[in-house]
Structure 1
Amino acid sequence: MKKKPFVTKEQLEDIVKQYPTPFHLYDEKGIRENARKVKQAFSWNKGYKEYFAVKATPNPYILQILHEEGFGCDCSSFTELMMSEACGITGEEIMFSSNATPAKEFEYARELGAIINLDDITHIDFLEQHGGIPETISCRYNPGGVFKMSNGIMDNPGDAKYGLTTEQMFEAFRILKQKGAKHFGIHAFLASNTVTNEYYPALAKVLFELAVKLKEETGADIKFINLSGGVGIPYRPDQDPNDILAIGEGVRKVYEEILVPAGMGDVALCTEMGRFILGPYGGLITTAIHEKHTHKEYIGCDACAANLMRPAIYGAYHHITVMGKENEPCDHKYDVTGSLCENSDKFAIDRMLPKIDMGDLLFIHDAGAHGFAMGYNYNGKLRSAEILLQEDGSAKMIRRAETPEDLYATFDFSEFKFPFDRWYE
């Protein structure tokens, strides 16, 4: 399978005239189409709700687009709650899933009327003191052990800091009922970036069986079950993508096998996808500005790991298209690098690509989630702009690039005078 950018070279060249590289570019048309497909996949469940994982792409313009498509927000911090509120997303359209949570964050979540998803049994008393116990509340489940499937996809819940044990789930529900909770949710996240249609149905089976037992043994009213995220994307061109319609159908079968016979056919389902919703619909756009011929062949870009750190910290693969050379042979082997003082600052190692000339625009694929969001300022690098390719083909800046004034704004300017006039756009 050949990965194709969602933008043409001509479109990019026009955008670059107004917004210099590097920048993150998002495809509104693709985002909306994918959002509608996700809703279609779970349309059989009357109460279904997707809570977009804000941490994946924390931009209010993106949240607004998804809210227009019927999505809520999955928040995990004070500032994510703040962004959600700024977009008019409040109440039960927010799922607040946090861990080691400061008091003021629980208090803010309660003020907004968010659904709180507790990460630990000790948080019950803490929440009661800082915001109070709501009538509807959720608990995050961690079954321990290793979550392994026949296709080799696995994660290690037993080594994860998140969630309650099986025994604690039952105890927590009883305690919460005594403290006034009336409606309950169950949440679990057991594997990350799975590229298989079997993950959600397998997770659903675990949670549905637990839900039946919790209802039977505690009398709790299970209002919703949250399958969280974990549905991944094919970063490599030879990977087959997930089929969200097949995934939804797989979950439906398990729902009808386990919940319906138990008299729980009215339980709503939730998801909290980030990567699947946004990943393929964002790219990092950068310009080749240097070439180096030493022990290897290097291409130096004006973007670096500060703009997209996944390759540097995970060794993650991100496909690269040299714009305008999509049909040329990939007969040159390059390390594609940024300018950080770190040897791991490489977008690609020994990657076969067409010959790259200085000034070529590179489209780094699948940077729409956990791309800009994980950026940082090491080496004094300034975080780049975010641009939205709107449905009509026009480009809109949805976050400007940082300036030196932004970087140094927390210093006391009465003590230090920075030569900001030396900065050039």
Structure 2
Amino acid sequence: MKKPFVSLEQIQEIKKTYPTPFHIYDEKGIRENARAVNRAFSWNKGFREYFAVKATPTPGILQILKEEGCGADCSSYTELQIAEAVGITGHQIMFSSNVTPAEDFALAAKLGAIINFDDITHIPFFEKIAPIPETVCCRYNPGGVFQVSNEIMDNPGDAKYGMTKEQMKEAFRMLKEKGAKHFGIHSFLASSTSSNVYYPMLSKILFELAVELKNELDIHIAFINLSGGVGIPYHPDEEGCDIMAIGEGVRKVYEEVLSPAGMDDVAIFTEMGRYMLAPYGALVAEAIHEKHIYKEYIGLDACAANLMRPAMYGAYHHITVLGK
């Protein structure tokens, strides 16, 4: 059973100031969850969670996460502005974008964000806007189908994101010639997984790639960004992921692959959105009509404009009737 973080009495009191519909967030839950994520990866001294701003582009939320040590994963001009507004700048911002307008790159460069190049052609495009920074990142797409045991998690080969391995090598060579000194690898292979082995499996792919790139190109791999993909239970009978087990799984692969290669200084980054916030937010609406025809209908004072995901993705969002 899903237990709401707010009671009917609390909502009735809040409604006196803020009429429905409104979104409400559980600050205590957000902070405790952020601390659990940091604990799970505390074995890695450079670890940082870059909250996916697109998931909830709300300055108040970003401020809370900033206080808990999180950075901002931005993909657009507006998201960069929101990060800057709450004082998140420099390497606290990871800028990952595709088909990127020049003005977005210009603002990211001005803020000193880590630029994550989605495509090799973005490098000469960026150079016309700003100098190549000393710390850069490129996004990897291994292609094919990504699966855990017999379950297909996603199909990276069909995704528009990232570069092939050969393009990664060429991009890093190009960036090194242009003055880059510290390199990052980023990849996103599956969305909203319910498995504790997704991050460890992705880690193995990226860690092995990191060792190959370091040895072949004689470069310093500074960080590996596992991006998002850790899901949450939407239905009351579903089990959630165990972030401590996930962190431990990544640690084991790190010690198997990176440590023997003398790469103990590689920082681990994550870019979670829904895992960081989805269980700690709710849309509060009031039932204002009942209609009895061939089906039973309850009419709310909220609509798709207040919660777009079910209309766009056929997503399930659990409804709780407070006080019932």
Asked if Structure 1 and Structure 2 have the same fold, meaning a TM-score greater than 0.5 normalized by the shorter chain, the answer is yes
Q: Deviations over 1:280-325 (max 9, x none)?
A: 0000000011111111111111111111111112221111111000
The equivalent of 1:9 in structure 2 is: 8
1:201 corresponds to 2:197: no
Q: Distance in 1 between matches of 2:151 and 2:305?
A: 32
Q: Distance in 1 between matches of 2:287 and 2:89?
A: 43
Q: Distance in 2 between matches of 1:240 and 1:151?
A: 19
Q: Deviations over 1:152-200 (max 9, x none)?
A: 2511111111100111001111111011111000000000011110110
Query: How far apart are 1:151 and its partner, in Å?
Result: 5.7
Q: Is the 8 A contact 2:200 2:246 kept in 1?
A: yes
Q: Is the 8 A contact 1:153 1:194 kept in 2?
A: no
Q: Distance in 1 between matches of 2:194 and 2:305?
A: 27
The equivalent of 1:168 in structure 2 is: 167
Q: Is the 8 A contact 2:145 2:156 kept in 1?
A: yes
Q: Is the 8 A contact 2:145 2:152 kept in 1?
A: no
Contiguous gaps of at least 5 residues in structure 2:
none
Q: Is the 8 A contact 1:225 1:270 kept in 2?
A: yes
Q: Distance in 1 between matches of 2:224 and 2:45?
A: 13
The equivalent of 2:95 in structure 1 is: 96
Most deviating of 119-128 and 288-297: 288-297
The equivalent of 1:320 in structure 2 is: 319
Most deviating of 307-316 and 180-189: 307-316
SS in 2 for 1:320: coil
Amino acid at match of 1:74: D
Amino acid at match of 2:276: I
Q: Distance in 1 between matches of 2:198 and 2:73?
A: 20
The equivalent of 1:216 in structure 2 is: 215
The equivalent of 1:342 in structure 2 is: none
SS in 1 for 2:320: strand
Q: Deviations over 1:10-58 (max 9, x none)?
A: 1011011111110000000000000000000000001001111100111
Q: Distance in 1 between matches of 2:305 and 2:186?
A: 32
SS in 2 for 1:18: coil
Amino acid at match of 1:111: K
Q: Is the 8 A contact 2:211 2:258 kept in 1?
A: yes
Q: Deviations over 1:204-251 (max 9, x none)?
A: 011001000000111111000000001110001111000100000000
**Segments of 4+ in structure 1 off by > 3 A?**
none
1:120 corresponds to 2:119: yes
SS in 1 for 2:285: strand
Q: Distance in 1 between matches of 2:308 and 2:102?
A: 31
Q: Distance in 1 between matches of 2:215 and 2:291?
A: 67
Q: Deviations over 1:379-405 (max 9, x none)?
A: xxxxxxxxxxxxxxxxxxxxxxxxxxx
Amino acid at match of 1:144: G
The equivalent of 1:140 in structure 2 is: 139
SS in 2 for 1:83: helix
Superposition RMSD in Å: 0.8
The equivalent of 2:233 in structure 1 is: 234
SS in 2 for 1:270: strand
SS in 1 for 2:193: coil
1:25 corresponds to 2:28: no
SS in 1 for 2:151: coil
More helix by share: 2
SS in 2 for 1:240: coil
Q: Distance in 2 between matches of 1:153 and 1:289?
A: 43
Amino acid at match of 2:178: K
SS in 2 for 1:34: helix
- For 1:21-420, what aligned pairs fall within 5 Å after superposition? 21-150=20-149, 152-325=151-324
Number of equivalent positions: 324
> How many percent identity over aligned positions?
73
The TM-score normalised by the length of structure 1 is 0.75
Contiguous gaps of at least 5 residues in structure 1:
326-425
Amino acid at match of 1:206: I
Q: Distance in 2 between matches of 1:322 and 1:151?
A: 38
Query: How far apart are 1:80 and its partner, in Å?
Result: 0.8
SS in 2 for 1:130: coil
Amino acid at match of 1:323: L
Amino acid at match of 1:119: D
Q: Deviations over 1:85-128 (max 9, x none)?
A: 11111000000001111111111111111000000000010111
Q: Distance in 2 between matches of 1:194 and 1:131?
A: 37
Amino acid at match of 2:125: F
Q: Is the 8 A contact 1:188 1:226 kept in 2?
A: yes
Amino acid at match of 1:241: G
Q: Distance in 2 between matches of 1:214 and 1:184?
A: 10
Q: Is the 8 A contact 2:55 2:274 kept in 1?
A: yes
